[in-house]
Amino acid sequence: MKTPARAEIELAVGACCIGDLHLDAARGDCVEPLRAFLATQSRAPALVILGDLFEAWVGPAHGRLPGAARVLAELAAWTARGAELHVIPGNRDFLLGADFERVTGARVHPHGFVANSTNERALLIHGDELCTLDVGYQRLKRVLRSRPLLALAPRLPSSFALAVAKRLRSKSVTAVAAKPSAETAQQPDEVRRLASEAHVPTLVCGHAHVFRDEALADGPRWIVLDAFGGVRDVAVVGEDGRWVVRGSRAPRA
């Protein structure tokens, strides 16, 4: 598989990383858990969102929904105070792009990025690219993220775009439910391959919604965060420049 170019980003001590919020843009109050979390992070120099911020995102049409507008405003307030915001699109919101960057001040990294913290370089990705045995899904992903489709998306009429999103969502739910778990599971061999290719000792991702933090045999440290709201759903660059895992609802250390 061809390796996409990935940026190298300096993440300072206190930078934090969350993912899989799956916010429903149609609901006006969907911003509340995010707002509450950001209020506890007033000293964090950077926030990284590992994908699936939204349950679905088909372009600017989504930004006009009541919940989405509030999420965008909250993120814009985050960057307005001088903090960085890095967003890796997930499989639900892979169309997050230039319009989202413009409104929020975020940097979007379609294929993830390499975080250069002082002591533990890490590759940060959404995590669906680790499901290499799911050939049908990987093929669909290549089509959906192809240039013609990405160019077309912002020009679709809202009602049409939102209907497509709804359909894709129900399709992906059915497809995932119907597949045996071995096929949709994240593959440790792919974790080893991506980490060695990026020359990093650590890979951090989400997508699976099942926490893990383990040292793979002959491979990197592999952290999968809980979906946001779970017990171990935040990775932070600690005082010693290494990644530590916390809970968004736990009191601050």
Residues binding Mn ion (CB under 5 A): 52, 90-91, 207
Residue nearest to Mn ion (CB): 207
What minimum distance in Å lies between the beta carbon of 127 and Mn ion?
Answer: 7
How many CB atoms neighbour CB 126 within 10 A?
A: 26
- Cβ closer to Mn ion: 6 or 207? 207
- Cβ closer to Mn ion: 44 or 223? 223
What minimum distance in Å lies between the beta carbon of 23 and Mn ion?
Answer: 13
Contact 20, 206 (CB under 8 A): yes
- Cβ closer to Mn ion: 52 or 55? 52
- Cβ closer to Mn ion: 52 or 129? 52
Q: Find the angle CA(53)-CA(169)-CA(95) to the nearest 5 degrees.
A: 50
Residues in a beta bridge with 237: 243
What minimum distance in Å lies between the beta carbon of 33 and Mn ion?
Answer: 17
What minimum distance in Å lies between the beta carbon of 53 and Mn ion?
Answer: 10
How many CB atoms neighbour CB 152 within 10 A?
A: 12
- Cβ closer to Mn ion: 13 or 24? 24
What minimum distance in Å lies between the beta carbon of 76 and Mn ion?
Answer: 24
Q: Which long-range contacts (CB under 8 A, 24 or more apart) does 107-113 make?
A: 107/7, 109/6, 109/7, 110/4, 110/145, 111/4, 111/5, 111/6, 112/6, 112/88, 113/6, 113/7, 113/8, 113/9, 113/86, 113/88
Residues in a beta bridge with 49: 18, 87
